[in-house]
Structure formats: C-alpha cells, structure tokens
Chains A and B, each alone.
Chain A
Amino acid sequence: MLVGISLETKQINSIKPIECAEEMSGYLRIVASDRCKLSFSKIFSYFAPRLRSYALKQMGNEALAMELVQDTMSNVWQKSHLFNSEKGSPSTWIFTIARNLRFDMLRKQRNRKEDVCSDDLWPILCEQTPDANEVSLDHQVTMDEIGVLLDTLPEKQKLVIEAIYIDGKSQQEVADEFDIPLGTVKSRTRLALQRLKEMLKDDD
C-alpha cells in the first residue's frame, strides 16, 4: 500500500451502532485536537463508501456523487472542532453536512440565485458567536457602555435581554427557562430594545 497509514477496510459487523457512535466520536475528537490522519482514515473508510451510495441516489451521476462525497468529508476534516457529541451522533452530523451541501449543489445546478443557502435553513456548521477573546477593543467599549445601560432596565427586561443577546439563547428557550409565554419574551425584548435605543440616542 502506498500511503503510510493503515486502512480499516474490513466489515466490523459485530459491534453495535451505539458503540460505533462512541468510537467515531472519539476519532473526531482526536482529529480536532491533533489533526490525526490515522483517526480520520477510520472515519473516512466507514463513512465515504456509504455516502457514495446516498450521493449516487441523490445526484444521479457518478462525478457529482463523488464531488458530494469529497466535499462532505472535507468538511468533516476541516470542521471537526465544530462536532459536538452532546448534540448528536457522528452519523447525524455527517448526514446533515451532506444534506446541506447537496441542497446547495442542486440549487446551483438549476442556476438559482443564492438568496437562500442551506446554512441558513439548517444552521449546523456555523459557530454561534465569536469567542469572547476575539471581540475587538472597540466592540468591548461599546459592550461596557451597553452593560451600564442594561442595568437601568427593569429587572424583567434585563434578564430577557441578557439571555438572548449575551447567552445567545433563542426566544423560545428563554420562554421555557423563565416559564413565561413566548409573546411576553417578545414584548419585553421589544420594549427593552426601544428603551436602549432611546438611551443611546440621548448619549450622542
């Protein structure tokens, strides 16, 4: 064999899906932390041939099918740090990547204008918000100012705004957490934002 890494090509029928998921999660973690090609080869040899069957069915032609396999597995290699085993199994993660890429490939083929892309419809590969340490100084100053303004809001509005804009929760999550109707979350958000906007205007 030409490559310097051994490939797992034999069938491993004796293990159960759940064990397979744990094993693959482990490999993904090592790929993310060490860029380990051997671990990637284990993931690749399991998923790539199975992806090809899916891609052939979806794209209807060998070249496009292999393009979809390659794009999907490239995403796995390049974005392994975004995989979160608490949110689902490696199979589900890789399936959603393939589904999104396929959606975009088909739209492109039909020359659709790119006003809707798969990452908007199914947000899986986007990081939620940049890390706190990536926030620029300018941004930080504004955040501090807003922090002061936030403290002047009524407590109920402040809690909702913090949960949404600082913790990055969805309005529904906030409603569940505080056990209040979604409509109330919305009206509190609206009132708070209006108030903040007025205060910022007065500052200028």
Chain B
Amino acid sequence: MISFHPKYTDLQAFSAGNCNTAMALMISAHLDMCQQCHHDCIDIQSELAADLFSLSTPTAPLDSQYLAMMSNITDLPVAKSIVNEAINTSIELDGKYFELPRVLRRHVKNTGNWSRLLGKVWQAPVELGDIGKANFIYMEKGGRVPEHTHRGSEMTLVVDGQYNDGIAEYDCGDFTIMNNQHKHLPHSEADDGCLVFTIVDQPLHFTAGIARLLNPFSHLFFK
C-alpha cells in the first residue's frame, strides 16, 4: 500500500515539464507504481492542454511563414515504427532479480557493482551524469543504516519490499524526500529485504554512536 506520494505541486511541475531532472526521474518511476498519482498527472496534463489550446485564445490568420512550414511538414514521410531496444528490465543481487520501474531500466547499464556498505546493507552506484548521485541500496532482512541526517536532500523510492526508519513504515512505491530536518534510521524486517533507489545531493551526516566516526568518510559512500 503506497502512503507517501510526491507533493501535488511537484506533480504539477512534472506534468508541465518544469521540475528538475532528478525529481522528474523519481516522479516518473513513482507513477509507474502508483495509479493514483498517474491519474492525477493525466488530469493535470489535460488541464494544462485545455488552457493552452483554449478556443478563446486570439490568433492571427496564418501568414506565409506558417504556410511554408506546413508544406515542409506534409512532405515528410510517416515515422517508421521503432522497435524498442531490448534492455534489462531488472537488476540482480545474489541471485535475486528485482523488476524496475520503466524509467530506471535504461540506467541498469550504468549501474556499478554491488558493494557491502555496512553489515547487511548493500549499495550499487548509478551513473547519472549531471543529474545527481544516485544509488540502489538493498537492506537484507535485519539490515540497518546507522542513524543519520542529510546536509542536502535525499529522495528515496522504494522499489521492492518494505522498510521502517523510526519515523514511518514504507512500502514499495513510497516516495520520500528527507533533508536536514529529518534524522532517521532505516532498517528492514521484510523477508525479502528492501530495495530502494535514492538520489542525494550532499553526503549523509551520521548522528549517533560509533557511526559518527564515519562522517569524515561519508562522502565515499552514500554519495
């Protein structure tokens, strides 16, 4: 059951094509799993379109520039149908295959190897160029990330399984944004563990116990 959705204003910005690329990627992946937000975006799109192409918008008669454009266009052939290239639709860890939301599938080929972060927590970095630092993070059953906060913001989408962070319980499809206001301690008790996709813009900041020793090095992982 999905309980955490993007804000409505972010869905509006996404539908208009105005949000930043990292957010767009997250929202697109969320929509693949969330019918409710998917329908919201369809409604927002049709409202935007209705405004834009309103009958009452005054328009001048078409001039020669438009006529030339139109005749150039109608000279073009029909688009050939493109056969979608075969891409990996899942990622694998230890013989387990995780199906990914459509928009993330293209990035499987840019995903590095899994490495053990701490105990039962695994991480695979995703190269997204200028968009942000992204990772798949997998918590085995009983796996936990030490309590931390964020210097920047961390967007997280649960791709598979469930986890709890001391603030709430998250199920697959749940989307959250954490910033320096939030201190949390993610752990998973799900039998199949939990796979999340995250994009962070600053290293994490550990807040409790021995894990604080990690802070000087936290940019080496989780980023």
Contact = CB atoms under 8 A, between A and B. Distances in A.
B73 A183 contact: no
Contacts of B84: 126-127, 129-130
B73 A74 contact: yes
Interface stretch (B48-56, B181-189, B200-208, B215-223): B48-56
Contacts of A130: 81, 83-84
B59 A50 contact: yes
A89 to B, nearest CB: 7
Interface in B66-104: 66-67, 69-74, 76-79, 81-84, 90, 95-99, 102-103
Contact of A183 (B52, B55, B74, B172): B172
Contact of B73 (A20, A73, A95, A121): A73
Given A50-B53, A99-B16, A172-B34, A190 B98 contact: yes
B61 interface: yes
Interface string A96-124: 10011011000100001101101011110
Given A176-B35, A183-B161, A183-B162, A92 B71 contact: no
Contacts of A115: 107, 110, 127-129, 131
A79 to B, nearest CB: 5
Interface size class on chain B is 35 or more
A2 B67 contact: yes
A94 B79 CA distance: 16
Contact of A49 (B62, B76, B77, B161): B62
A54 B52 contact: yes
B171 interface: yes
B32 A95 contact: no
A181 B172 CA distance: 10
Contacts of B192: 187, 190
B83 A134 contact: yes
A3 B103 contact: no
A25 interface: no
A113 B115 CA distance: 27
Contacts of A187: 192
5 closest residue pairs by CB, A with B: A95-B49, A49-B59, A78-B79, A9-B61, A99-B17
